[in-house]
């Protein structure tokens, strides 16, 4: 059931993104993103590469230098090193899609070389698409990608392209969720939008594991 849920979340997000050029995406909150993430890490983006597979199926290969592993260290180590992480994602960037005269997903996560980010990734696809190519979904499209920003004191905060506005919406009213939010010093009665402390985010992810 969990694997099916991940697939449904991804397909709905893709469908909504292709339907409109507006800033639309299936809203996914913090507990949903983290519970379906196999890997959550902080890293610096190095490069991406478009890859065409048989049957005109396109994926993008991304490479990150890892700074901090918040969730899924064992999974990252399966690559042989925790210093770098490479993964394939479905689809192409807007630029690469337009080169080929293809439609593109409005909220397809794209990364700039040198940018420091926190990324939430799903499990690998069960079967290779071709050869050894297996993909990971970025949870909630760009909702699962957070820019790392530093305040005047050098403290790290994170925010996604939606200003975190969906992270704390429609939360289940349960003791477990309240405990997670309290671990990050989030006011349960008045959860915030906008940037949040990286330390708070990390503490909440750890509480959920």
Residue 168 lies in a domain: no
Residue 41 lies in a domain: yes
Residue 142 lies in a domain: yes
Tokens of residue 110, six digits: 């794209």
Write out the residue range of the structural domain in which residue 135 sits. 2-157
Number of structural domains in the chain: 1
Overall pTM surpassing 0.95 (yes/no): no
Pair 72, 41: CB distance under 8 Å: yes
Running along the chain, 209 residues long, what does each successive block of 10 average in pLDDT?
46 40 69 95 97 94 98 93 95 93 86 97 94 94 95 96 91 88 87 91 94
Residue 163 lies in a domain: no
CATH of the domain at 108: 2.40.50.120
Task: Give dist(CA 77, CA 103) in Å, integer.
Answer: 35
Residue written as token pair 């969720």 = 177
Beta pairing partners, 86 = 63
Residue 93 lies in a domain: yes
- Tell me whether strands 84-90 and 136-138 are parallel, antiparallel or unpaired: unpaired
Residue 7 lies in a domain: yes
Residue 98 lies in a domain: yes
Pair 38, 47: CB distance under 8 Å: no
């Amino acid at each position: 059931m969990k694997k099916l849920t991940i697939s449904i979340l991804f397909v709905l997000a893709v469908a909504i993104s292709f339907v409109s050029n507006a800033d639309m995406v299936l809203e996914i909150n913090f507990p949903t993103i983290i519970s379906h993430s196999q890997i959550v890490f902080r890293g610096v983006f190095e490069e991406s590469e478009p890859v065409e597979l048989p049957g005109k199926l396109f994926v993008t290969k991304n490479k990150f230098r890892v700074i901090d592993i918040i969730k899924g260290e064992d999974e990252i180590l399966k690559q042989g090193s925790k210093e770098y992480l490479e993964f394939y994602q479905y689809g192409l960037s807007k630029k690469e899609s337009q080169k080929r005269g293809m439609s593109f997903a409005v909220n397809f996560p794209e990364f700039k070389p040198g940018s420091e980010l926190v990324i939430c990734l799903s499990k690998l696809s069960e079967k290779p698409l071709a050869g050894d190519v297996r993909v990971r979904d970025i949870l909630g499209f760009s909702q699962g990608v957070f820019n790392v920003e530093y305040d005047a004191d050098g403290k790290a905060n994170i925010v996604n392209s939606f200003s975190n506005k969906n992270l704390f919406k429609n939360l289940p009213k349960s003791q477990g969720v309240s405990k997670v939010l309290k671990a990050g010093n989030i006011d349960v009665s008045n959860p915030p939008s906008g940037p949040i402390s990286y330390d708070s985010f990390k503490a909440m992810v750890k509480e959920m594991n």
